[in-house]
Copies of this chain bind each other. A is one copy, B any other.
Amino acid sequence: MRREITGYSNPTVKYLRSLREKKHRKAAGEFLAEGLRLLTDARECGHLPELLVMAKTREAHTLLDVLEAEVLRSGGEVIETTPDILSKITGKSNPQTVTGVFKEFDTSLAALDRDAAPIWMVAESLRDPGNLGTMLRTCDAVGAGGLILVDDCADPFSAEAVRASMGAVFTKSIARASWDEFLPWLRSGPGQLVAASLRDAVPYRGAEYTKPCFVLVGNESQGLPESYEAECDLRVTMPMRGRADSLNASVAGAVLAYEVLATLEK
């Protein structure tokens, strides 16, 4: 179906705006992803939006034509609107000229296939959605299976996380669990749990990583709880040549994941 929206108070506009808030996303089970590049990545991985919202001022683009046709064919809805209304929906003054509404995915541990990849990333109480999206993007780069979000993490379906993931939110597995759910799941099969740590750790270069390797990163301010570190199979330390004793969480995860990748591919 195709329709045009011209009024700010249209209920669909109100609904789409509401998806900027976590509680509304959770209630609806839907989220927004902006931009033709992201939507094309999603489509190529089998994710079509339920709803496609386009600015009337958009430039013509073959990929957008393909997307539009597929959304209509699959029974989705295509909405044309003004740039101002699109701006109101996305909350950005210069929004992309196209936005899609997607169903949230299954994020249960049970849905993960650990044998599908040699590396997995695990984040514990990661609060910054930008860091979360960046970790998903890194998962894509290192060929990790996906990201497991432990305890109280940011929402992977927030606009900022989706944007920072550069499409990886659609291509990588995402699971959410408490530590008390994650640990038994991990121990129910093969898997090496590795964390960067300052306690009882070996140098991260040359450490004996084995697959499937689960790279665990802690909260931005607190790092990992000591009891979580104690459960790790391997604690590694990265050089800190300055005043501080830590890196940005998504940076630490990436440096470690690249080291794991190099070891496993040797």
Query: Which residue numbers of A lie inside 8 Å of B, CB to CB?
Result: 41, 45, 130, 134, 137-143, 164, 166-168, 171, 205, 238-244, 246-248, 250-251, 254-255, 258, 261-262, 265
Contacts and interface: CB of A to CB of B under 8 A. Distances in A.
Contacts of A205: 262
B138 A248 contact: yes
Contacts of A255: 254-255, 258
23 contacts: A41-B243, A45-B243, A130-B130, A137-B247, A137-B248, A138-B247, A138-B248, A141-B238, A141-B242, A142-B241, A142-B242, A143-B239, A167-B244, A168-B243, A239-B258, A239-B261, A239-B262, A239-B265, A248-B250, A248-B254, A254-B254, A254-B255, A255-B255
B239 A142 contact: yes
Contacts of A139: 242
A85 to B, nearest CB: 25
B164 A242 contact: no
Given A248-B164, A254-B255, A242 B130 contact: no
A265 B203 CA distance: 13
Contact of A241 (B130, B243, B261): B261
A111 to B, nearest CB: 19
Nearest to A251: B254
A242 B143 contact: yes
Given A166-B244, A239-B261, 4 more contacts: A143-B239, A205-B262, A248-B254, A254-B255
A241 B247 CA distance: 24
Nearest to A244: B140
A241 B143 contact: yes
Nearest to A41: B243
- Most chain B C-beta atoms within 10 Å of own C-beta, residue among A138, A248, A255: A248
Given A247-B137, A247-B138, A248-B164, A258 B238 contact: yes
3 residue pairs, one from A and one from B, having the closest CB atoms: A143-B241, A140-B242, A251-B254
B243 A167 contact: yes
A168 B171 CA distance: 35
Contacts of A251: 134, 137-138, 250-251, 254
A73 B120 CA distance: 53
A138 B251 CA distance: 8
Contacts of A258: 238-239, 255
